[in-house]
Amino acid sequence: MLGSHKNRRRLFLRFDSIFSSATIEPQELRKQIAAVHDGLRRRCQFKRIRMSNWKAFAAADLEFPTTEAARPIVLIGGDNGNGKTSILDALIAGLYGAASFVDGGRGSAQGSEVARRAEYRSFIERAFHKPAFDRGDRMSSVVVELSIPNGQIEIERRWYFDDEGQLFEDDEEVVVRLGKDRDIVAVPQDEDPMSFYEGLIASIVAPATMIPFFLFDGERVVELGRKDVREQVRIGIESALGISSLKRLASDLSDYVKDRSRDLVDEDVDAELKRDVIRLEDRQAEHAHARDAVEAEAASLKQRRDAIVHDMGALTNHSFKDRHQTLEAKHNATQQLAALRNEIAGHGVAAPALPPSRSAPHEADGERS
């Protein structure tokens, strides 16, 4: 489900869930493998194909006969030019689109992916029903219906053309519907629709690499006999047996290991930062304890200071503030008296003696002596 998803985080979270769950018992695993084999044996059968503006058909709706599990073969016969190859090409192109050329072995055996996509585009342009184009139609479509073990599936593919008959390749549409109600299969978020549907169809029907061995005409049998298809057979068998999926799984698990290794490095950094935070919190607690001790000592000193100030004020029945103001007034009066004596002395008049100070009895005793 998630192997081809662009958002690797979803795949890695799924791996986390798998690895954290209980191990599957061998007997349960064998049951699951048997179910897969049974599903492959009776995977799907073609039921119906509808074509619009496709090659020899302006419109066609054909039903396929139901086959037996032991002989899942449908033979289409008819005279030359009656549309046998048109039906075959519609089945392949409707299911796989460009993948039938790039991955499925159709078209030229040689060439790059770009060249084979160009060959596919040319093939679709030639497949457009010419009378329909002359009438002004600019769209062709193929709808393929199949029965699958758990119901039925419908695959619709549409192609659009300009007035010159050239394909709008980016506008090719694919829609997959499931069940009798034809519920559309939603494309996961951030997933490319074309890639998603290609993978889904390959998983339900068959890989594109295997199609030349399941859908072919008489001429194709001769062609397959002449071609060296060993590599294609190898790839097809690997796809059918799930080996290609295992290879992708190994690659995904390698990416998963690298990603989780980076997470472990990040976890080490986080652990060191957490240790630093704990050390800082311990130092903060120590400083807070020292602060509380200083504040307790300061409160004791404050009480002592207030007691001393109170005792000082009690000496003159005044508060400390009153005592301070009295001393300041005395100091100012003394300075004014000294200035007046200097002024009187300047006029030749003897200055009267200072009266004795009540606050300084030792000065008064000195004058009397």
Whole-angstrom Cα Rg for the chain:
50
Which range scores top for mean pLDDT: 77-81, 104-108, 189-193? 77-81
Burial class (CB in 10 A: 0-12, 13-18, 19+), 207: buried
Q: Please check the confidence at residue 109 and state whether its pLDDT lies above 60.
A: no
160/125 Cα distance (integer angstroms): 9
3-class secondary structure, 302: helix
Q: What pLDDT, in 10s, does the model give residues 194-215? A: 888 888 888 788 778 777 778 8
What's the pTM value of the predicted model, to 2 decimals?
A: 0.56
Which range scores top for mean pLDDT: 134-143, 223-232, 334-343? 134-143
Q: Give the pLDDT band (50/70/90) at residue 54.
A: very high
Quick one: three-class SS letters along 326-348? HHHHHHHHHHHHHHHHHHHHCCC
Q: Give the pLDDT band (50/70/90) at residue 368.
A: very low
Which residues lie below 8 Å from residue 158, measured CB to CB, with a gap of 6+?
Answer: 139, 140, 141, 172, 173
Q: Residue 322 has what pLDDT?
A: 66
Q: What pLDDT, in 10s, does the model give residues 122-181? A: 999 999 999 999 999 999 999 999 988 778 899 999 999 999 999 998 889 999 998 888
Q: Do the bridges between strand 173-178 and strand 151-160 make them parallel or antiparallel, or are there none, so unpaired? A: antiparallel
Q: Count other Cβ atoms within 10 Å, centred on residue 87.
A: 24
Q: Count other Cβ atoms within 10 Å, centred on residue 280.
A: 10
Reference 165, options 131, 194, 142; nearest CA is 131
Which domains, and CATH codes, for the chain? Answer: 42-241 (3.40.50.300)
Q: What pLDDT, in 10s, does the model give residues 64-94? A: 998 887 787 888 888 888 888 899 999 999 9
Reference 65, options 88, 39, 46; nearest CA is 46
Lowest mean pLDDT among 190-194, 263-267, 282-286, 317-321: 317-321
Reference 65, options 79, 50, 48; nearest CA is 48
Question: What value does the mean pLDDT take over residues 337-358?
Answer: 67
Handedness of CA 126, 128, 133, 134 (dihedral sign): positive
